[in-house]
């Protein structure tokens, strides 16, 4: 029996969702299973390759919905979970009791834990640390920007490694460990410990770069780092550097996309009023009410800059109206 689990790649919640699903499935559905993990990333164009849906069961966690008949399990908590009204209708008509959605949850991991316990009798107590930290990380529930950026907790270091590692197999090796051992012990694994020093150095460099590049005006930060390989930067750095900001828009580039990251300051004195997922959806992106992103093809740098400029102008105008 082979189960392929698709998860939101380069994302702490995505990796933890895959880990928790693995443990739940093995304990409550079937134990004699081989799991295969495949990371998914938001990009311009098709998000799924149907040929990859080749498991005896195929699950998607912490990522958009697919109406493929080969997808047998789905869990998500993003407001922008459906690529089309047809996909939303397909989900609403599903009678499998294997596909679940609730955008009210801080993390997909905590959502899976709840469903697994209430619907399938899973005991979530051994994974309580995992659930606790995914809510903090994905829900931006840190005490302050300093704790989010200085990364003292094991979960923060793992988040950095997951978001920044260039090894395509890194998260796949990590997922089975996250399911069954404490986060601090996972940090000590040789393949994890080896990547931390250079990533911590890169993190500090990104703080210095954003200090130079980020400009705040009308409560809204903007920066463009498309000339640098820094897509996996810590998304709280802008608020650490500009604590009075409300919103942040960043342009970054990787080998396969140009990304417009749109976020709001969790510690802002002025509460964000704009639904950022709705803004991002206009450009083919999505996310949550307080954080979202838009992905453009790597050749569409000008289109990404135009979209970013429009979002910046809109959010700055919104903040001015609030004052």
2-193 and 215-322 have identical folds = no
Q: At 229, is the pLDDT very low, low, confident or very high (cuts 50, 70, 90)?
A: confident
The mean of the pLDDT values for the chain is 95
Residue ranges of alpha helices (H) inside 56-144 are 85-93, 108-120, 128-138
Please give the average per-residue pLDDT across 183-190, as a whole number: 97
Residue boundaries of the structural domains of the chain:
2-193, 215-322
Q: What is the pLDDT of residue 232?
A: 79
Cα radius of gyration rounded to whole Å, the chain:
19
d(CA 138, CA 207): 20
CATH number for the region 2-193 comes to: 3.90.1640
Per-residue pLDDT reduced to its tens digit, 91-149: 999 999 999 999 999 999 999 999 999 999 999 999 999 999 999 999 999 999 999 99
Backbone angles phi and psi of 7, in degrees to 5? -140, 160
- DSSP 8-state code for residue 295: E
pLDDT reported for residue 230:
82
pLDDT surpasses 90 at 188: yes
Q: Tell me the pLDDT band of 191, cut-offs 50, 70 and 90.
A: very high
Q: What is the pLDDT of residues 242-294, one digit of tens each?
A: 999 999 999 999 888 999 999 999 999 888 999 999 999 999 999 999 999 99
The pLDDT score that the predictor gives to residue 166 is 85
CATH 1.10.238.10 fits 215-322, yes or no: no
């Amino acid at each position: 029996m082979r189960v392929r689990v698709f998860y939101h790649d380069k994302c702490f919640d995505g990796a933890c969702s895959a880990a928790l699903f693995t443990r739940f499935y093995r304990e409550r559905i079937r134990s004699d299973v081989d799991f295969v993990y495949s990371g998914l990333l938001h990009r311009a164009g098709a998000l799924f390759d149907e040929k990859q849906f080749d498991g005896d069961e195929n699950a998607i966690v912490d990522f958009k919905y697919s109406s493929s008949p080969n997808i047998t399990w789905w869990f998500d908590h993003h407001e922008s979970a459906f690529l089309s009204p047809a996909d939303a209708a397909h989900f609403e008509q599903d009678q499998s009791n294997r596909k679940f959605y609730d955008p009210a949850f801080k993390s997909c991991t905590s959502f899976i834990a709840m469903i697994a316990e209430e619907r399938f009798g899973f005991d979530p107590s051994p994974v309580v640390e995992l659930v606790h930290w995914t809510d903090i990380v994905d829900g931006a529930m840190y005490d302050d920007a300093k704790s989010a950026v200085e990364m003292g907790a094991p979960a923060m270091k793992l988040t950095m490694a997951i978001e920044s590692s260039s090894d395509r197999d890194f998260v796949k090796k990590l997922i089975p460990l996250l399911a069954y051992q404490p986060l601090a012990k996972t940090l000590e694994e040789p393949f994890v410990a080896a990547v931390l020093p250079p990533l911590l150095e890169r993190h500090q460099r990104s703080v210095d770069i954003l200090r130079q590049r980020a400009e705040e005006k009308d409560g809204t930060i903007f920066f463009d780092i498309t000339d640098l390989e820094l897509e996996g930067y810590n998304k709280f750095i802008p608020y650490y550097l500009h604590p009075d900001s409300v919103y942040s828009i960043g342009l970054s580039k990787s080998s396969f996309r140009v990304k417009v990251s749109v976020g709001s300051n969790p510690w802002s004195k002025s509460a964000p009023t704009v639904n950022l997922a709705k803004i991002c959806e206009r450009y083919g992106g999505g996310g949550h009410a307080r954080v979202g992103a838009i992905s453009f093809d790597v050749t569409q740098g000008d289109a990404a800059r135009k979209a970013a400029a429009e979002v910046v102008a809109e959010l700055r105008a919104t903040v001015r109206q609030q004052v």
